[in-house]
């Protein structure tokens, strides 16, 4: 498992592209100044993980290897199981573990919720197989609910200095029932506005798309 995490999942993050876009801040040679993404003019790299708890030794190895970020799915359906009720407990623990190791999180606000959208059958464009899954937020109620949840997350985790990414690779099968730029744009705008209103200093990026080395920046 550790080998898979450290080798197969290794990649440079959206944060690298974002840092490259930040204008250098003038500073003395003897000081190291920081902006929102960390030390100025230094590349931050990280690793994608698919666990929230129970892998502290893996986090130790990731930190020991010098990585400063982890990227993880922050799945809506697992947090809001009852309308309007959010359970942050699993991620509270993860953020505490990251803080101990001087690492930060890129949390992907993603995937849908059966409380607000129905399932549908579609064809996966990658393997051309039939799949059944919950439709991505595309109706006013579900878009508003997703945006409210994202804003609540930004407020709850304000002290954790999370980078919030809006969805994962919406240009392929991760957007259900099929990629739709208008639907994604509507969700991204609503979500960014809700987060910005609730937590003005939050860092918002996206979308990270398939077949592209780095994330495009979506900051508002």
The pLDDT, as a whole number, for residue 212 is: 44
Average pLDDT over residues 92-120: 96
If pLDDT is split at 50, 70 and 90, which confidence band does 104 have? very high
Domains of the chain: 2-205 (3.20.20.80)
Q: Are 12 and 45 in contact (CB under 8 A)?
A: yes
Give the separation between CA 51 and CA 206, rounded to whole angstroms.
Answer: 22
**Quick check: 8 pLDDT over 90?**
no
Average pLDDT over residues 86-100: 96
Query: pLDDT tens for residues 107-152?
Result: 999 999 999 999 998 777 667 788 889 999 999 999 999 999 999 9
The pLDDT, as a whole number, for residue 121 is: 87
User: How large a percentage of the chain has pLDDT more than 70?
Assistant: 75
Query: pLDDT tens for residues 29-70?
Result: 445 465 555 555 554 678 888 898 888 999 999 999 989 999
The pLDDT, as a whole number, for residue 45 is: 78
83 or 216: whose pLDDT is higher? 83
**Quick check: 199 pLDDT over 50?**
yes
55 or 187: whose pLDDT is higher? 187
Per residue, the 3-state secondary structure of the chain, as one string, reads: CHHHHHHHCEECCHHHHHHHHCCCCCCCCCCCCEECCEECCCCCCEEECCCCCCCHHHHHHHHHCCCCEEEEEEEHHHHCCECCECCCHHHHHHHHHHHHCCCEEEEEEECCCCCCCCEEEEECCCCCCEEEEECCCCCHHHHHHHHHHHHHHHHHCHHHCCEEEECECCCCCCCCCCCCHHHHHHHHHHHHHHHHHHCCCCEEECCECCCCCCCCCCCC
The total number of residues written for the chain in this structure: 220
Q: Are 147 and 138 in contact (CB under 8 A)?
A: no
Q: What is the pTM of this model?
A: 0.76
Window from 74-78, 104-108, 172-176, 192-196 with minimum mean pLDDT: 172-176
């Amino acid at each position: 498992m550790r080998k898979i995490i450290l080798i197969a999942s290794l990649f440079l993050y959206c944060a690298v592209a974002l840092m490259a876009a930040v204008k250098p801040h003038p500073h003395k040679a003897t000081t190291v100044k920081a902006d929102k993404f960390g030390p100025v003019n230094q590349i931050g790299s990280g690793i994608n993980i698919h666990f929230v708890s129970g892998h502290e030794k893996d986090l130790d190895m990731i930190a020991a290897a010098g990585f400063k970020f982890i990227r993880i799915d922050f799945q809506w359906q697992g947090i809001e199981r009852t309308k309007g009720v959010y359970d942050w407990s699993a991620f509270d623990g993860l953020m505490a573990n990251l803080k101990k190791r001087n690492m930060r999180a890129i949390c992907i606000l993603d995937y849908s919720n059966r409380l607000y959208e129905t399932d549908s059958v579609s064809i996966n464009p990658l393997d051309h197989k039939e799949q059944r899954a919950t439709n991505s937020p595309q109706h006013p109620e579900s878009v508003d609910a997703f945006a409210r949840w994202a804003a609540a997350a930004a407020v709850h985790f304000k002290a954790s200095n999370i980078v919030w990414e809006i969805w994962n690779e919406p240009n392929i099968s991760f957007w259900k029932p099929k990629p739709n730029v208008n639907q994604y744009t509507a969700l991204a705008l609503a979500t960014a506005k809700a987060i910005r209103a609730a937590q003005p200093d939050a860092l918002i990026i996206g979308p990270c798309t398939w077949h592209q080395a780095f994330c495009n920046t979506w900051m508002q």
